[in-house]
């Protein structure tokens, strides 16, 4: 069975500082990894994904994430935080086709990111 | 593209009533997913379809829940009879070739 852990319920960062939201995963085969953001009373918006290739993935709104296979991690990062980045962030995983896994995503519990002015 | 469309956006009903949630996926997408979000359990996959065929419904909580996809442009999730513990936000998502899933705005269901 696949799983995702987001160890921090909340991350507080001052505006202009770098931010990191942590994510570790467990999956049998090769992982497909995703980050989504959810604003209050809204659906989930896709930020970025890792399927294969370069371990550093760049996404929307200046976010990036680094895939680390040995540590089974996929942390979300941004060099300079904005107040408008405050939201709920979800990491998700599914097995890649080589693993023969199911196609649905398994989500972490989410991390509230609060950017203080 | 209008994105994934869900209706209604909000639904308030009484215990025992039938509830039908609707979803229109992004045109050209071949996968459709139904998820449920609650404070206690987070985001859970309920069921998904590929080319209108249900592939995995192991996440459907009980027989009171059913889902259909009569064509590539429409899916329904039905709860009959509804119970207070079904109160949640229900999301529909679609994707092409099971890669990036794009989510609708959700239906917020309250069962009294």
CA distance A80 to chain B (A): 26
Mean pLDDT within B74-96 = 96
> Nearest to residue B58, comparing CAs of B70, B76, B41, B46?
B46
Quote the pLDDT of residue B97.
82
CB nearest A107 (choices: B42, B55, B102): B42
Contact A46 B105 (CB under 8 A): no
Instruction: Show which residues on chain A lie within 8 Å of chain B, measured between beta carbons.
Output: 32, 34, 36, 41-46, 49, 51, 90, 94, 102-110
Task: Work out the pLDDT band at A1, boundaries 50, 70, 90.
Answer: confident
Dump pLDDT digits (tens) for A42-78: 889 999 999 988 999 999 999 999 999 999 999 999 9
CA distance B71 to chain A (A): 20
| B49 contacts chain A (CB < 8 A) | no
Pairing of strands B88-95, B31-38: antiparallel
> Has residue B105 got a pLDDT over 60?
yes
> Has residue B41 got a pLDDT over 60?
yes
Mean pLDDT within A85-102 = 80
Quote the pLDDT of residue A103.
76
Mean pLDDT within B91-101 = 90
Dump pLDDT digits (tens) for B27-37: 999 999 999 99
In sequence order, what DSSP letters do the residues of chain A get, joined into one string? Answer: --EEE---SEEEEETTS-EEE--EEE-SS-EEEEEEEE-TTS-EEEEEEE-SS-SEEE-GGG-EEEEETTTTEEEEEESS--GGG-EEEEEEEEE-GGGT--SS-EE---EEEEEE-
From CA A68, how far away is CA B93, in angstroms rounded?
A: 27
> Has residue A99 got a pLDDT over 70?
no
A–B interface: beta-carbon pairs under 8 A: 49
Contact A49 B99 (CB under 8 A): yes
Name every chain A residue with its beta carbon within 8 A of the beta carbon of B33.
104-105
Q: What is the percent of chain A with per-residue pLDDT over 90, rounded to a whole number?
A: 77
CB nearest B103 (choices: A43, A104, A108): A43
> Has residue A93 got a pLDDT over 90?
yes
Mutate to test the interface with A, among B91, B98, B102, B107 (most CBs of A within 10 A): B98
Quote the pLDDT of residue A102.
60
DSSP classification of residue B112: -
Contact B106 A36 (CB under 8 A): no
Residue of A nearest to B97 (CA): A103
């Amino acid at each position: 069975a696949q799983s995702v852990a987001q160890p921090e319920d909340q991350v507080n960062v001052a505006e202009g500082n770098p931010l990191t939201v942590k994510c570790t995963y467990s999956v049998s085969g090769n992982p497909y990894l995703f980050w989504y953001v959810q604003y209050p009373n809204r659906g989930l918006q896709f930020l970025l994904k890792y399927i294969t290739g370069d371990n550093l993935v760049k996404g929307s709104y200046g976010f990036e994430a680094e895939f680390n296979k040995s540590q089974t991690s996929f942390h979300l990062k941004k060099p300079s935080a904005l107040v408008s980045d405050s939201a709920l962030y979800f990491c998700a995983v599914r097995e890649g086709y080589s693993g023969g896994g199911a196609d649905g995503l398994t989500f972490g519990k989410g991390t509230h990111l609060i950017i203080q002015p | 593209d209008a994105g994934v469309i869900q209706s209604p956006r909000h639904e308030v009903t009484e215990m025992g009533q039938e509830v039908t949630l609707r979803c229109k996926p992004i045109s050209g997408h071949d996968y459709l997913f139904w998820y449920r979000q609650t404070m206690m359990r987070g985001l859970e996959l309920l069921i998904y379809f590929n080319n209108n065929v249900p592939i995995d419904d192991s996440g459907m909580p009980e027989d009171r829940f059913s889902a259909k996809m009569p064509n590539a442009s429409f899916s329904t999730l039905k709860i009959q009879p509804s119970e207070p513990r079904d109160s949640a936000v229900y999301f529909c998502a679609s994707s092409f070739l099971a890669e990036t899933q794009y989510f609708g705005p959700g239906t917020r269901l309250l069962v009294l």
